[in-house]
Chains A and B, each alone.
Chain A
Amino acid sequence: MDYFLTEPQKTIRDLARRIAEERVLPVRAELDEKEEFPWDIVKDLAAADMFRVFVPEAFDGLGGGCLELCLVTEELSRICSGVAVTYAASALGCMTLMEYGTEEQKHKYLPDIAAGKKLGAFAITEPTAGSDASNIKTTAEKVSGGYLLNGTKQFITNGGEAEIYTVIALTDKSRGARGASAIIVEKGTPGFTFGKKEKKLGIRASATRELVFKNCLVPEENILGKPGLGFIQAMRLFDKSRPGIGAQAVGLAQGALEAAVDYAEQRVQFDQQLINMPVIQHMLADMAIQVEAARALVYAAARYVDSGAKNLTESSAMAKVFASDAAMKVTVDAVQICGGSGYMRDYPVEKMMRDAKILQIYEGTNQILRNAIAVNLRKRKGRAA
């Protein structure tokens, strides 16, 4: 399939693929086994300018958009989804800043993100606020000299490893979600500490931690955009970032498909290669259809984001839901084709299957996103948009 990528897009994709194959592949099993944060790979990605891809040129970036970010994420995820999310979460951590930040704020933080010297992270989820994201309790009380943060953020990707955090907190408790604001908090700010590193089913190379704020004073100039708009900013952010999760799913499913085809070619039972058996051929064909359909939808959604369109919720949700469901199905089938071997850690597919599950959960569960799609479907009376 030809998606008519531009030459610069192909260059980005090819280099990301090379980094994934040369630097990530040799260590992915070890990173998964040890639950080790991939700092060496982050340095390789930085040296190759991968963190510049999503940053505007004015701040030392290469000025790419959602599609470019998706291409890198997909290629990394084809080899290791834990590495891919580490990369993509840094972009997520500074997208609110890119969208709503002042020139000063952007100059202060973006060049270091672009150079890969510092990682970003985004924090909205709390013990009481998962799918019910507006039910956050963390407060940012206006005091002399800035905002005083108190509360706990949960399951934060790149938590503890990132330097720059975009935190959604209530600057006006009485107004609930309408009193939420996005605030930049730097690692090392007094009163800002980290909880334990979570032990996960999959994407184990990535770091997931609690952020704990206890009377953490943040300068007033760290607020992004207008106070009170934090929740809306977060929802718009996810509308733009969800194709990235879709890309992570496409890459993961692609990797699983390749592993399954390789195994089916090598494995002989009943005196024939599995790949010659119609039952396996049909399974592989269905997997390939899922992967390609997911890719087409993700690229279309990413291009829609890059077009500057306003109503992104439905298209981005569709891309994320379809691709992550496809990744789950394809990785389960890849394990099935590889049989007993596929269940063992010596083969890559069991890791891929574990990595796939989170894609149906984070950045909006697939159930919550189906709700959002249904709301829009009703608005447009089911007619093609």
Chain B
Amino acid sequence: MNIVVCLKQVPGTTEVKIDPATNTLIRQGIENIINPFDTYALEEGVRLKEKHGGKVAVITMGPPQADAALREAISLGADEAILLSDRAFAGADTWATSYTLSKAIAKIEKYDLIICGRQTIDGDTGQVGPELAEMLALPFVAYVSRIEEIKDKYLRVTRMMEEGHEVIETTLPAVITVAKEINVPRLPSLRGIMKSKNAKIETWGVKELGVDASMVGLAGSSTQVIKVFFPERVHQAEMLSGSLEQKVEALIDRLRQAGLC
């Protein structure tokens, strides 16, 4: 069973700040982590490998420092890691990202199952998994909470729906995105960390993938972020001060002014 796990390095916080001048994330001083949803994908891939044999390849697209996320994945049980990094890949939307990933996976050739997290915690779109399946012309199941059976060219999974669960059969290869209910990711091991420090990480760019630069990165993106902003606060609270009587008087005044009494 050869498995490809796609993961993304994201800022390790949910309180991201936006630079108002450039509309981009302020990354200074924020530790980068593996997108938490992707850790479930990796864990499931490693468990399948441990049970059925084979290999787990992790793949990410990002700047050179995304190397750290791949090394962490190796410490958690991945066998091979590929970093898709090229200036031309910068500014990609989900479409261009999926396109680039699909080209890299096609280059890997030998795979039975592709696992992604259900969404990232920074972009939050949940689009890359399904787009990837579409581009590779593979069956796709989202929100998988349990792999029921997997064998040669056959997969049966349970996926979470808003009300209840659905059991789905499909052929392999296939793409699935997993929900956090699927497992409890392990901690790294000391031997895994030591292995990851010396692991060789392949880096593929436009040249290695043999893609047209106009199809990737900002150039290949059909959408563009024009502005990122916090919605203005339109509701305002005013705290009244003074003795209880003064506060009651003031409150009645305010309500009268607003025509409410």
On A, residues with C-beta under 8 Å from B are 8, 11-12, 15, 18-19, 22-23, 44, 47-50, 52-53, 62
B191–A62 touching, CB < 8 Å? yes
* Least CB distance, B99 to chain A, in whole angstroms: 36
B190 neighbours in A (Cβ, 8 Å): 11-12, 15, 48-50, 52-53, 62
Interface of chain B residues 135 through 189 with chain A (CB within 8 A): 186-189
Contact of B187 among A8, A47, A53 (CB under 8 A): A47
A49–B187 touching, CB < 8 Å? no
Supplied contacts A48-B189, A48-B190, A53-B190, 13 more A-B pairs, CB within 8 Å: A8-B194, A11-B194, A15-B190, A15-B193, A18-B187, A19-B187, A23-B187, A47-B186, A47-B189, A48-B187, A49-B190, A62-B190, A62-B191
Q: Which residue on chain B has the smallest CB distance to residue A8? A: B194
* Least CB distance, A151 to chain B, in whole angstroms: 39
B194 neighbours in A (Cβ, 8 Å): 8, 11
A52–B187 touching, CB < 8 Å? no
Q: Which residue on chain A has the smallest CB distance to residue B186? A: A47
* Least CB distance, A351 to chain B, in whole angstroms: 24
Q: Which of B190, B192, B193 has the most CB of A within 10 A?
A: B190
B186–A49 touching, CB < 8 Å? no
The distance in angstroms between the C-alpha atoms of A22 and B194, with both chains bound, is: 21
The distance in angstroms between the C-alpha atoms of A18 and B185, with both chains bound, is: 14
B186 neighbours in A (Cβ, 8 Å): 47
Contact of A44 among B187, B191, B192, B193 (CB under 8 A): B187
Question: 23 A-B contacts, Cβ less than 8 Å apart?
Answer: A8-B194, A11-B190, A11-B193, A11-B194, A12-B190, A15-B187, A15-B190, A15-B193, A18-B187, A19-B187, A23-B187, A44-B187, A47-B186, A47-B187, A47-B189, A48-B189, A48-B190, A49-B190, A50-B190, A52-B190, A52-B191, A62-B190, A62-B191
Q: Report whether over half of chain B's contact residues are helix, strand or loop; otherwise say mixed.
A: helix
* Least CB distance, B189 to chain A, in whole angstroms: 5
The distance in angstroms between the C-alpha atoms of A62 and B194, with both chains bound, is: 10
A12 neighbours in B (Cβ, 8 Å): 190
B187–A22 touching, CB < 8 Å? yes
Q: Which residue on chain A has the smallest CB distance to residue B193? A: A11
B188 neighbours in A (Cβ, 8 Å): 15, 48
The distance in angstroms between the C-alpha atoms of A18 and B188, with both chains bound, is: 10
The 4 A-B pairs at the shortest CB distance, nearest first, are namely A49-B190, A49-B189, A48-B189, A49-B191
* Least CB distance, A8 to chain B, in whole angstroms: 7
* Least CB distance, A324 to chain B, in whole angstroms: 28
Q: Which residue on chain B has the smallest CB distance to residue A44? A: B187
Q: Which residue on chain B has the smallest CB distance to residue A53? A: B190
A15 neighbours in B (Cβ, 8 Å): 187-188, 190, 193
* Least CB distance, B51 to chain A, in whole angstroms: 16
Interface of chain B residues 187 through 213 with chain A (CB within 8 A): 187-194
B191 neighbours in A (Cβ, 8 Å): 49, 52, 62
As a 0/1 sequence over residues 73 to 112 of chain B, the CB contacts with chain A under 8 angstroms (1 = contact) are: 0000000000000000000000000000000000000000
The distance in angstroms between the C-alpha atoms of A252 and B84, with both chains bound, is: 45
The distance in angstroms between the C-alpha atoms of A8 and B187, with both chains bound, is: 17
The distance in angstroms between the C-alpha atoms of A50 and B193, with both chains bound, is: 12
Q: Which of A8, A49, A62 has the most CB of B within 10 A?
A: A49
The distance in angstroms between the C-alpha atoms of A11 and B198, with both chains bound, is: 14
The distance in angstroms between the C-alpha atoms of A15 and B194, with both chains bound, is: 12
* Least CB distance, B190 to chain A, in whole angstroms: 4
Q: Which residue on chain A has the smallest CB distance to residue B191? A: A49
* Least CB distance, A93 to chain B, in whole angstroms: 21
